[in-house]
């Protein structure tokens, strides 16, 4: 009887760090399992990834040889498949410093839709799932070691065009109308403010003019010229008519001798 594969404590998981396209509608990313199979792997061994619907992972059976690996095209009926065949040396501890990708992309090979391909494919996942995955170390005599199944991985759901609500378009039109009204009110308010400021400026200019006239008139009042004192009449003269010389300054009246 074949020896059961060793159960490793490693659990596959989606990278916890921020990653563009980490989970999409047809793919998801996995962290590479470095230093997981070193104690069990030989140079000729390969590591596979088993992908199954979450409710079918318990019934998955490891294939006894590479020829029995379930292919991608049987996923809708078998509910599982195996993909991403990689040399075990690529996951060894010595490969950690190698310039290899730190993540694996499950479902990233769109060419797998060609049913004529016979090699194991890593085709797009047909539904949101959820899915569970595990790594399986395969030698020439069959499975040698396997990891734990991952937690369920749910993909994003694609939205059908027929289910898109046209309400956002109407709401967008309402927003445009409201923005136009607010812009008009803003223009009216700006015009009113400019009118008030103009009136205040004009009023201040008028007050300044009035103040200048008053100052001018007051400045003229300050130059007061005292009235001329009456000149004494020469001896032996008198004014004619009498009293005219004493009330308003006049040129000396002609005098006559008495």
Please check whether residue 134 lies inside any domain of the structure.
yes
How confident is the prediction along the chain (258 residues), in pLDDT tens digits per residue? 668 899 999 999 999 988 888 999 999 999 999 999 999 999 899 999 999 999 999 999 999 999 999 999 889 999 999 999 999 999 998 765 555 568 999 999 888 766 555 568 999 999 999 999 999 999 988 999 999 999 999 999 866 555 555 555 445 556 666 777 777 777 777 777 777 877 776 666 655 555 544 444 444 454 455 555 555 555 555 545 554 444 445 555 555 554
Residue 11 phi, psi (nearest 5): -115, 115
Please check whether residue 73 lies inside any domain of the structure.
yes
Boundaries of domain holding 58: 6-13+23-155
Please check whether residue 183 lies inside any domain of the structure.
no
Beta-carbon contacts of 18 under 8 Å, excluding residues fewer than 6 positions away, are none
CATH of the domain at 39: 2.60.40
Please check whether residue 103 lies inside any domain of the structure.
yes
Beta-carbon contacts of 55 under 8 Å, excluding residues fewer than 6 positions away, are 79
Please check whether residue 132 lies inside any domain of the structure.
yes
Q: Pairing state of beta strands 46-53 and 80-87? A: antiparallel
- Whether the predicted model's global pTM rises above the 0.85 cut: no
How much of the chain is in helix, strand and coil states, percent to nearest 5?
35, 15, 50
Beta-carbon contacts of 136 under 8 Å, excluding residues fewer than 6 positions away, are 5, 47, 48, 49, 50, 62, 82, 143, 145, 146, 147
Please check whether residue 191 lies inside any domain of the structure.
no
- Which tokens sit at 127? 């539904």
Report the domain count for the chain: 1
13-46 pLDDT tens trace: 999 988 888 999 999 999 999 999 999 999 899 9
Please check whether residue 235 lies inside any domain of the structure.
no
Please check whether residue 97 lies inside any domain of the structure.
yes
CA 155 remoteness from chain centre: 24
């Amino acid at each position: 009887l074949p020896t059961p594969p060793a159960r490793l404590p490693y659990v596959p998981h989606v990278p916890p760090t921020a990653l563009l396209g980490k989970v999409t509608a047809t793919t998801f990313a996995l962290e590479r399992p470095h230093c997981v199979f070193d104690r069990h792997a030989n140079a000729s061994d390969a590591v596979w990834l088993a992908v199954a619907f979450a409710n079918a992972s318990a019934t998955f059976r490891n294939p006894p040889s590479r020829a029995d690996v379930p292919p991608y095209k049987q996923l809708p009926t078998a509910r599982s498949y195996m993909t991403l065949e990689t040399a075990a040396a690529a996951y060894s501890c010595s490969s950690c410093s190698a310039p290899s990708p730190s993540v694996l992309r499950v479902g990233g090979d769109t060419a797998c839709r060609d049913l004529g391909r016979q090699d194991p494919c890593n085709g797009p996942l047909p539904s949101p799932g959820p899915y569970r995955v595990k790594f399986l170390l395969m030698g020439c005599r069959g499975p040698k070691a396997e990891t734990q199944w991952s937690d369920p991985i749910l993909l994003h759901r694609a939205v059908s065009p027929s289910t898109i609500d046209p309400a956002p378009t109407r709401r967008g039109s309402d927003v445009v109308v409201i923005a136009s009204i607010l812009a008009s009110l803003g223009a009216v308010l700006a015009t009113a403010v400019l009118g008030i400021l103009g009136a205040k400026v004009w009023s201040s200019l008028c007050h300044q003019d009035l103040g200048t006239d008053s100052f001018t008139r007051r400045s003229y009042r300050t130059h007061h010229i005292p009235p001329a004192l009456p000149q004494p009449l020469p001896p032996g003269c008198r004014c004619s008519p009498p009293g005219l010389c004493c009330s308003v300054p006049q040129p000396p009246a002609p005098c006559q001798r008495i």
